[in-house]
Structure 1
Amino acid sequence: MKKIIFASIAAFAVIVSGCATKNTSVSSSSSVDGSKGSGSSDQFENVSSLNSIQNVYFDFDKFNIRKDMQGVIADNAAIFNKEAANAAIVVEGNCDEWGTDEYNQALGLKRAKAVKESLVAQGVSADRISVKSYGETNPVCTERTKSCDAQNRRAEFKITK
């Protein structure tokens, strides 16, 4: 009986010690808040330009770049080609909550890839851009409204030196 209790306690200790708390803090040099990306002043010369990087928004169940987002792509590409010319860029695709987890993960990746292709067409080196999908797991709005869903259908940018 003592061996069973000791084995149970030992197993519990191993399980508990393996479950570390996940660090969810994000440094200011790589965070994206609301609708704009950001950089830190110690990494880039013109931080105000980096703060003007805008998200790209998508229609429901779509991954093509909307006509009203073409200017956003062009503006972001200009910043990536000038003020952040040596930076690595991560394009993060996001979705609203509609659809399965697997479907939204794939849709988020398609959105990120579409943005990458558009940036490359604007002269940003493809080697500097990586893509990532958060699917529906990274909402900026959690209300159950159409306008909230529209905010979650986006691509965000993180830049690092």
Structure 2
Amino acid sequence: MKSIVLSSVVTALLIFSGCSSKNPDATGTNATTNASTNAQEVEGVNTETVPAANSLISSGNTGIDSMSVMEGKLGSVYFEFDQFTVTPAMQSKVTNDSDAAKTAVSKYNIKLEGNCDEWGSDEYNFALGLKRADSVKKALIANGVDASKITMVSYGESNPSCSDKTQECWANNRRVDFKLLP
């Protein structure tokens, strides 16, 4: 009986001592010293002006605005139910996307996002989304796009473009989207 009470007390002390309300400081100094040090560092920061041609925020032909315009040139590739091969109907779409990737968007990296409908387990859909992205990647490489500029990710069923419970909606969710990365 004594051992049960003693071990309960020791366990309670360990639990409560580990639940401190203070935020630990990784540097070993107190918070007021860090705040004054950080303020001094911020005041001494050198600034640099970036020309508009090199800025990602400009609204000219470079930057985020043009990147979203360029993404519009690359459309989604759609797949049949439970399939990951590029159909002949989608092959012309991939060819157009690879031409755009070699010319207009060649300065960007391309992220291929594999997506699935809601049918199947989460694990199966993540694998299927990755297989779909890989099929599009192989088709782009076959059309002359540099493999080092392509990355892939699978969202499985977690990134639907449509949430209706219809055949048309499910067909729209079986796709690979193109995203541009700087």
Q: 1:97 to 1:85 in 2, by over 3 A?
A: same
- More relative contact order, 1 or 2 (CA 8 Å, 6+ apart): 1
Deviations 1:9-44 (A, max 9, x none): x47999xxxxxxxxxxxxxx9xxxxxxxxxx95338
C-alpha distance in 1 between matches for 2:88 and 2:114: 18
Q: Does 1:136 align with 2:145?
A: no
List aligned pairs for 1:56-135, cutoff 5 A.
56-135=77-156
- What secondary structure does 2:75 align onto? coil
Q: 1:43 aligns with which of 44, 50, 63?
A: 63
Hey, which of these two has a bigger chunk of helix by percent? Answer: 2
**TM-superposed deviation, 1:52:** 2.1
Q: Which runs of 5+ in 2 are unaligned?
A: 1-11, 24-55
Hey, which of these two has a bigger chunk of strand by percent? Answer: 1
For the aligned residue pairs, the C-alpha RMSD in angstroms reads: 2.8
- Higher CA-based Rg: 2
**TM-superposed deviation, 1:84:** 1.2
Q: Give the total of aligned pairs.
A: 135
Maintained 8 Å contact 2:111/2:151:
yes
Question: Percent identical across equivalent pairs?
Answer: 39
TM-score normalised to the size of structure 2?
A: 0.65
C-alpha distance in 2 between matches for 1:47 and 1:101: 30
After alignment, is 112-121 or 50-59 more displaced?
A: 50-59
Q: 1:155 to 1:7 in 2, by over 3 A?
A: same
**TM-superposed deviation, 1:47:** 6.5
TM-score normalised to the size of structure 1?
A: 0.73
